[in-house]
Structure 1
Amino acid sequence: MRYARMTDRLAGLGSDKWVLHVAAQARAAAGHRILNLTIGEPDMPTPAALIDAACTAMREGRTHYSNGRGEESLLRALAARHSQRLGRPVGTDRFLCLPGTQTALYLIFQALCEPGDEVILGDPMYATYEGLVRASGAVPVPVTLRDTAGFRLQAEDVEAAITPSTRVIFINTPHNPTGAILGPAELDALGELARRHDLWIVSDEVYGDLTHDGRPFTSALANPAFEERTIVAASISKSHAAPGFRSGWACGPAAFCARALPLSETMLFGSQPFIADMTARALSAPPDLARAMAARMARRARIVRDALDGVAGMRVPLPEAGMFALIDIRALSRDSTAFALELLERQDVAVMPGASFGAALEGWLRVALNASDEDTATACARIRRFAEVMAA
């Protein structure tokens, strides 16, 4: 039987990247007590007030069809939130509501890219990004994020990768897996490149409320000079500990939203009104939950750094944001997958190999910071023992 070419383009780009997580689950099912630090789940359940808001909306009959753009209450909440963040009015016509950041990014690339177009993005990158780009028929063009530059995408590196086929510069700030935050000057340099070459900027900003130690976050939409070529995707999955509710959005030029709306309607024709009501409530409150979560993540990153930095040649740079810390194991191994699998086998600690996030992170590990302080410290002690044996 024949299949669409998209299935070939996406072969090996789905759950294959999560082999360590799957192996950890299998080992746990076999009776092992696994310290699983693979997935970026929030470290707390969805707040009861948000669940109550969704349940109340369902009981009040908010279970019917929605429209393709989003419920009016949620669009108003998004407009108010972005107007406050950017310091200028942002209208409701600049949003499309979708089930999570992943779906929003899928829609964006389907709307912007043709087969053969090129999308420049940083390497390392979140594990689904290559699939998002290739699903549209476009070609991902990785640009190395150098640890000497704090893993921040540099305009000169992007410019060297631009060709006549380039259509989009795809950024992620704060960045997964490195935790790097792009500053205003770096964003402006990328925006100027995009303007000079008539390119789009697409920015995944799902970790925008999870900066560590009070560090400021700047959206790619901050500079109004570039807002007509910039589209941002985000959700409440991380900031409000609600990943299972699948509630996200795209914010871009009104013209983009009008052009992409029929595609969104073809895909989904509306999200659930009761989830929209819950999301509107979440976005209308101060980000206290995200700030508290970020403080815990920053504390655990320091636990990892203090336990492992300098041990057996390993290095642990502190992240600026997000739910992960990186461990540089290149002094011990250049095969992060083999290292992580053996660590799981010998110490019952599951972490993600850097290779799952791109060639530039081979020889690194990504450690989720959502386990308790005690479990994080225990995992680090086991990693230390394993590394010292390897180095002996």
Structure 2
Amino acid sequence: MAYSMHQWSTLSQNYPASSIRKMAKRAREIGNPIMLTMGEPNFETPDFIKQAAIQGINENRTYYGPNVGEHNFQTAVADKYTKMTGFQFEPDNIMASFGATEGILLVMMSVLNEGDEVLVSNPHYPNYLGQIMSVGAQAVDVPVYEKNQFKIQAADIEAAITDKTKLLIINSPNNPLGSILDREDYEAILAVADKHKITILSDEVYENIIYDGKEHVSLFQIPGASENHFVVNSFSKTYAMTGWRAGYVVGHKQAIHVMAEFREGIGFAVAPFTQDAAVAALESDQTIVREYLQAYDERRHIVVDGLNAIPGFTCLKTEGAFYAFPNIQAFNKSSEAFAMELLEHTHVAITPGSAFGSMGEGYLRISFAQSTEDLKEAISRIGEYVARAYPELH
């Protein structure tokens, strides 16, 4: 017997579907497109990471572990942040999570009540919205502008604050915008948050994908930030471990303890052998990370330079992550309509900017995590199509 809709929860009827996956599904229906929609490295997980997991399995590290994570994992992450920030972090400051995604949800469950407001940049990573809805809170947009190099501004954050504001999510390097925040940006944002007693959740999953010799700045490099705020991170992008679902939360010991209690009712624990693999990644010499970055940098130039050579496209130079976010307003089409047009005529699948919020209208997000061959072919197809279909722009 089929369920009727009155039997489904309000959440299930209103949960925002991923427009990224919706576009990917449409693309697969047309045959064999070049897929530039998903933020997933095309690299295989390095063998030394796989071997660490295999060793863990062979040593029968396949049972339930502590909700908060394995001690070797907590220690490795704590050591990373101690070295990165110059401040002392202990294993009790670390919670293992099923990728950064679960870590974000655990933070929300820990600090939000029904009716609280969460400030989210617009454009934004769309999965934040469903998580906010799941805990009964409300998302409030903070507009981010191309004129500011796609960097969220402390003044715009402060303008969006109300007496219901409880949490601010920031993301650097940024998906979908490809921008990064520097130390001064973080200091200004932290000052606003502390002034209004708002918790910051800093999503730093692209921390190792930064170009032109720049270095990642973590929220926790700012003195005092770790007392009231959170950093969420993952192994997915840096080490090509998307399917492993290995991530973590860094925060105050008391908050980590609370999250471990929530974990008991969600998924018990990240598999010990998965955490062994993550420790091997952290404790390696990071050669593979540098090799991946070099490859992404080459791909960045193929896409950004290639788009800027096509009439009608203007694209800021990506500073971090592996996304280009070109302006397509010259085509006088909605981002969804233009993305579908390109899909139909070039068989290149691109995510419309509107999938990331209203401020994404007039833009596209292009993932350059795919092979150089695919990226060159995609840019060539788009350029040839625009030359034919929009001769007035030449």
TM-score by length of 1: 0.95
- Please list the CA deviations of residues 99-139 of structure 1 after superposition, one character each: whole Å capped at 9, or x if unmatched: 10111111111211111111111111112111121111111
Q: Distance in 1 between matches of 2:150 and 2:342?
A: 26
User: Is the 8 Å Cα contact of residues 18 and 127 (structure 2) preserved in structure 1?
Assistant: no
Q: Describe the shift of the 1:173–1:155 C-alpha distance in structure 2 as closer, same or farther (beyond 3 A).
A: same
The 1-side partners of 2:19 and 2:377 are apart by: 28
Cα distance in 2, alignment partners of residues 168 and 41 from structure 1:
28
Distance 1:96 1:23 in 2: 37
Partner deviation per Cα, 1:206-246 (whole Å, 9 max, x = no partner): 00011112211111111122221210111100111110010
Does the Cα contact within 8 Å between 2:20 and 2:351 map onto a contact in 1? no
Determine if the alignment matches structure 1 residue 20 to structure 2 residue 19: no
For the structure 1 residues 122 and 15, does the alpha-carbon distance in structure 2 shift closer, same or farther, using more than 3 Å as the test? closer
Number of the residue aligned with 2:11: 6
Letter in 2 for 1:218: V
Separation in 1, partners of 2:373, 2:13: 44
Matches within 5 A, 1:29-68: 32=32, 34-68=33-67
Q: Distance in 2 between matches of 1:166 and 1:8?
A: 25
> C-alpha displacement at 1:254, in angstroms?
1.1
Q: SS state of the match for residue 370, structure 2?
A: coil
Q: Deviations for 1:287-335, whole angstroms, at most 9, x for unmatched residues?
A: 3322222222222221123222153221011111111112211100341
SS in 1 for 2:142: strand
Identity %: 31
The two structures, once aligned, show a CA RMSD in angstroms of: 1.4
Aligned twin of 1:182: 181
Match of 2:150 in 1: 151
Q: Matches of 2:287 and 2:149 in 1, distance apart? A: 27
Which residue of 2 is the match for residue 270 of structure 1?
A: 269
- C-alpha deviations, 1:33-67, integer Å up to 9, x for none? x2111111113101111111111110111111111
Whether the 8 Å CA contact 1:194–1:201 is kept in 2: the answer is yes
1:358 corresponds to: 357
Aligned residue runs from structure 1 range 187-198, under 5 A: 187-198=186-197
Query: What is the distance in 1 between the residues matched to 2:381 and 2:332?
Result: 17
Aligned length: 386
1:16 CA displacement: 4.3
Question: Does the aligned pair in 2 maintain the 1:294–1:321 contact within 8 Å?
Answer: no
- In the TM superposition, what is the alpha-carbon distance from 1:8 to its structure 2 partner? 3.5
Q: 1:133 — aligned with what?
A: 132
Q: TM-score, normalised by structure 2?
A: 0.95
- Given that 2:41 and 2:370 are in contact with CA atoms closer than 8 Å, whether structure 1 keeps it comes out as no
The match for 2:3 is: none
Letter in 2 for 1:391: Y
Q: Secondary structure at the match of 1:114?
A: coil
Structure 2 Cα separation of the partners of residues 182 and 334 of structure 1: 31
**C-alpha displacement of 1:345:** 1.1
SS in 2 for 1:121: strand
The answer to whether the Cα contact below 8 Å between 1:101 and 1:233 also exists between their aligned partners in 2 is: yes
Amino acid at match of 2:116: D
3-state DSSP of counterpart to 2:325: strand
- Determine if contact 1:234/1:250 at 8 Å carries over to the other structure: yes
Residue 287 of structure 2: aligned partner: 288
Whether the 8 Å contact between 2:40 and 2:369 is mirrored in structure 1 is yes
Aligned to 2:367: 368
The question of whether the paired residues in 2 share the 8 Å contact of 1:9 and 1:135 is answered with no
Q: What amino acid is aligned across from residue 374 of structure 1 in structure 2?
A: E
Cα distance in structure 2, aligned partners of 1:261 and 1:5: 28
Instruction: Give the aligned partner of residue 244 of structure 1.
Output: 243
SS at the partner of 2:69?
coil
Asked if structure 2 preserves the Cα contact closer than 8 Å seen for 1:125 and 1:176, the reply is yes
Does structure 2 retain, via aligned residues, the 8 Å contact 1:18–1:356? no
Runs of 5+ unmatched residues, structure 2: 1-5
Q: Secondary structure at the match of 2:220?
A: coil
Mapped partners of 2:19, 2:206: distance in 1: 24
d(CA) in 1 for partners of 2:13, 2:130: 11
How many angstroms apart in 2 are the aligned matches of 1:204 and 1:288?
A: 24
Asked if structure 2 preserves the Cα contact closer than 8 Å seen for 1:337 and 1:353, the reply is: yes
Bigger drift between 204-213 and 311-320 goes to: 311-320
- Counterpart CA distance in 2 for 1:365 and 1:260 is 36
Contact 2:48 2:280 in 1 (8 A): no
Matched residue SS, 2:24: helix
1:181-203 deviations in Å (ceiling 9; x for gaps): 11111111111111111110001
SS at match of 2:350: strand
Unmatched 5+ residue regions in structure 1?
Answer: none
